[in-house]
Structure 1
Amino acid sequence: MTQHTPTRPLEGLRVVDFSTLVAGPYCSRYLSDLGAEVIKIESAEGDYMRSQAPLRDGMSTYFGQVNCGKKSVVANLKDSEMLADVKRLIDTADIVIENFRPGVMTRFGLDFETLSDSNPGLIYCAVSGYGQTGPGAERPAYAQNVHASSGHDLTLLRYQDELTRPANSVLFYADILAAIYALSAVNTALYSREKTGRGQHIDVSLMESVVNLMPYDVQEAQFPAKISRPVYKPSRTTDGFVIIMPNTQRNFEMLARATGHDEWITDPRFATVEARYNNFPELLATIEGWTIQRSSEECERILSAASVPCGRYRTVAEALEDPQLKHREAFQTVTDRAGDYLVTNLPFKMSGGTVSAVPTVSELGEYKLSDFL
C-alpha cells in the first residue's frame, strides 16, 4: 500500500509580510508553519525584534521565535522603482499582512483597494491597536497600553489580595491573541475565496482581541453578580505552590476523598456549590491545611490520580522539560548563524498535514525581490 506523506496544509500560498514586532509577525509565522511561503519585507535597519534579547553572537532568539521560516527581503518603500517591484510581488501573492498605523500603507499606494485592482483574489490583513477606523484608530498602541485600556489589568487587580496597583505588564497577551485571531480570519477568507473567487480586507484590533479574553467580566460589568465568582488561589506546599480547581460537585467530592477528608462533603460550609461560593476563603484555607504538609509534586500526583484538576507552579524552564509537551512535540529546534534553539509549535496537530515551525531563520536581506519575480 502506498504511504501518504503529509504535506503542510497551506503549501502553494504566498504571503507578503510587512509587519514588525510581534502581532503581525506571529500571524505570518503561523502561516509559514502551515506551509505558506512568507516573504518578510524589512527596512535596511531590519525588524526591531532582531536586536532584542536573548542574543547569541548578535542573533536574537526572540526574533527567531516569531519569524522562523520566513524569507527576508530588504526594500525601501520610498524608492519608486523598488516600490514598483514590491507591487509586482504582491500581484503574485495570496495574502498581505501589515501592522502599520492606519493610513501608512495607503500613503505608499499599498492599501487593499489599490492592490486588489490588479489582484482581486488578494487577502489583506491589517493588524492594529484599535482598528482601522473610528475615533481611536490613530492612537499609538503596544500590548501593554492595550491591556490597560481594555479593562484587562484592572480586572486582574480586582481579584488579587495583596496588590494595590495593577501588576507589571510583561506578557503580551494582546499581541498573541491578535495574531491568533488574524490567522483565523485569514483562513476564513481563504475558504471564502474558494467559493467566490475574491479576496477581502481583514481588520484585526489588539483592543478587541483582549476584550474577547474576558467573557465573564464583559457580562458582569453589565449585570453585576450578587455573589462574586470563586477566585482560585495558589495553595502553599512544603516547596512551592499548587492550584486546585474543585469546580463541580463531583470535583469537590473527589478532592475530599483523595485528601482523606470525607467529612468535607457533609460540612454545611462546603456541601453544595452555593455553600462553597459563600465560604470560598474558608474552603481554600481548609485545602491549604492539607497541601502545606506535602510537596507540590506529591499534591499534584495524588490529586491528579483522583481526577481532581491540580497543577503545580513551575518555571518556563521546567515546562520545557515536561514529558507530555515533549511527547506532543510542542517545541521545534530551529537554527540561525549562532546555533540551535527551541521555539514553540502551534498547539494543534492535523491528521492530514504537517504543522510545525520551519527550522530556519533568515538573515536580514538574505533574499532579493528579484528572487520572487
Structure 2
Amino acid sequence: MAEPTANPAAPTAVKPGVLDGVRVLDFTAMMSGPYCTRLMADLGAEVIKVEPPEGDHIRLRPPRRQGRSTYFAQLNAGKKSLALDLKKPEAVALVRELVGQCDVLVENYRPGVMQRLGLDYATLAALNPRLVYCSISGFGQEGSWSGRSAYAPVLHAASGYDMANLDYQEGDVERPLKNGIFVADVLGGSLAFGAIQSALFRAARTGEGDHIDLALMDAMLGLLVYECQEAQFPAERRRPLYRPTKAKDGFLLIAPVSQNNFEALARGTGHPEWITDARFATSQEREHHWGALMQLLDDWAADRSAAQCEAEMNAADVPCSRYFTVREAMKLPPLVERQAFQTIDDGAGAFQVPNPAFRFARTAAHARGSVSELGADGPALLGSLLGLGEERIAALRESRALHVRG
C-alpha cells in the first residue's frame, strides 16, 4: 500500500486518498457489496469490478438515459470493469494471478459459490497471505440458513425489523409496511467497509490478511438496539413516539427529547403554562399524556404554515424539521455547503451522486467521475498488472473467457 506523498498543507494541492495504492478485486453485484466498494473507490482505492459477460444486473435498472443506468453509476462510480466468464478455467486462472497484485477481495455470492470456483479464501490466501477477503451474505458463510437467498426485503422481514415497525404504527395498519429502501444492503455494505479497513490496518502491522464473514441478518439485528432489549425485557408501557405535527400546508416533526427541549417548546409555542401543567411537568408524566401533548402541537400548528412552524421552533432551539422529499432535501443548505453531492458523467450526461458522509481534513473522500462500460478496462488491466501481450489477450477474447464490449 503506497504512502500518500502530497503536501496536505498546500492549498492548491490535490488531496491524496486514504486508500491510494490499495487494489481491490470486486466480485459484488446488486447493492450491498457495490456500496462497500464504492466507498473504497471514493477514498482512492483502485477497485476492479469483476463482472459476468452479461454484467451486473443493476446496469439494466432504471433510472436510465441512453441505455445507461444512473442507479448503477451511483453504486459503481470510480471502479474499473473486467468482464470474465468464470465458468472458463482460463478466467479463473486470471483471477488467481490477479490476487497476487491485490490487497482486498470482496464478494457477495451465495455461500459456497467462490469455493466451487476455486476462489475461496483458503485457496487465495495461500497465493497472497496479506489478502483481506470479505464475504457478504444474508445469513453468514456457515449454518443451516447459509444457503438461503437473501435480498434486503427478505432480511427486513426475517430480522424483526418489519414487525417492529408495524408495532410502532399502533394498530393504524394491519400488515407490515411496504418499503423500497434497502436498509440491510446499505447498512451491511457500510459495516463491511469498516471491517475491511480494520483488517487492512492489521495486515499492515502483521503482514497477515484475514477473512471477513459479514451477515446482513446480523447487521439488521445490530440496528435494532432498543428493540433487542425490549424483546428480552418487555416494557411496562409502550414508549412514546414522535409523530408528524400537521400544519396548514404540510407536516413537520418536532422532537422535544430532553426536559430543556420541552420547556423551550412550551415557550416557543407561546404556552409557557405547559411547563407547570401536571400532565407534562416531568418526562414520566409526558409519557403518560403523550397523545394530549401531540394534539396540542397539532392545534398550535393548524393555522400556521409548516415553514413558519419550523422557523419558530428553530428560533426557540427546539429540535424539528419539515418533511422534505428527496428532491427537496438534495438542495438544502447543509448538503450544498458540505458538498454532499458530486457531479459525474457516465457518457449519457451529467448527474449527481452522494459523497461519503464523512470528511477528512488532509485526504480526499468523494465520488470519482468515471463509470466504466462493461469490460472496458479488461485488456489494459491484464496488460499492466499481469504483463499479458496482445496475442494472449486476443486468445482470451476468442475463447470467450474475457469479454470486452464493442
TM-score, structure 1 normalization: 0.98
Q: 2:371 aligns with which of 353, 357, 361?
A: 361
Tell me if the contact between 2:77 and 2:369 (Cα under 8 Å) persists in the aligned partners: yes
Structure 2 residue 304 is the aligned partner of structure 1 residue 297: no
8 A Cα contact 1:125 1:203, kept in partner: yes
Offset, 1:82: 1.9
Aligned to 1:3: 10
* Partner SS state of residue 350, structure 2: strand
Q: Give the aligned residue type for 1:3.
A: A
Q: For 1:68-88, what per-residue CA distance to the aligned partner results, in whole angstroms no more than 9, with x for missing partners? A: 000001111111112111111
- Look up the SS of the partner of 1:212 in the other structure: helix
Equivalent in 244, 249, 255 of residue 234 of structure 1: 244
Equivalence for 1:370: 382
**CA distance in structure 1 between the partners assigned to 2:209 and 2:306 by the alignment:** 52
Could you tell me how far 1:61 is from its partner in structure 2?
0.2
The one-letter code of the counterpart of 2:252 is V
- The gaps in structure 2 that reach 5 residues or longer are 1-6, 387-406
Whether the 8 Å contact between 2:159 and 2:217 is mirrored in structure 1 is: yes
How far off its partner does 1:169 sit?
Answer: 2.1
Unaligned runs of 5+ residues in structure 1 are none
1:188 equivalenced with 2:198 (yes/no): yes
State the shift of 1:135 in Å: 1.1
CA distance in 1, matches of 2:246, 2:179: 25
Query: Residue 268 of structure 1 is aligned with which of 254, 271, 278?
Result: 278
Within 5 Å, which residues of 2 pair with 1:115-134? 115-134=124-143
CA distance in 1, matches of 2:10, 2:148: 54
What displacement does 1:116 show? 0.5
Aligned to 2:115: 106
User: Is contact 2:138–2:149 with CA below 8 Å preserved after alignment?
Assistant: yes
Matches within 5 A, 1:1-373: 3=10, 5=13, 6-161=15-170, 162-368=172-378, 369-371=381-383, 372-373=385-386
Q: After TM superposition, give the deviation of residue 337 of structure 1 in Å.
A: 1.4
Could you list the per-position Cα deviations for residues 262-320 of structure 1 after superposition, in whole angstroms to 9, with x for gaps in the alignment? 01001111110000011111111111111222111111111112110001001000011
Whole-angstrom CA distance in 2 between matches of 1:195 and 1:211: 32
3-state SS of paired residue (1:264) = helix
Q: Deviations over 1:307-335 (max 9, x none)?
A: 10001001000011111101011101111
| Structure 1 Cα separation of the partners of residues 200 and 43 of structure 2 | 13
Q: What's the % identity of the aligned pairs?
A: 46
Aligned length: 373
Would the aligned equivalents of 1:227 and 1:277 in 2 still touch at CA under 8 Å? Answer: no
Q: Distance in 2 between matches of 1:224 and 1:133?
A: 31
CA distance, structure 2, for counterparts of residue 42 and residue 193 of structure 1: 27
RMSD: 1.1
Over 6 Å off, 4+ runs: none
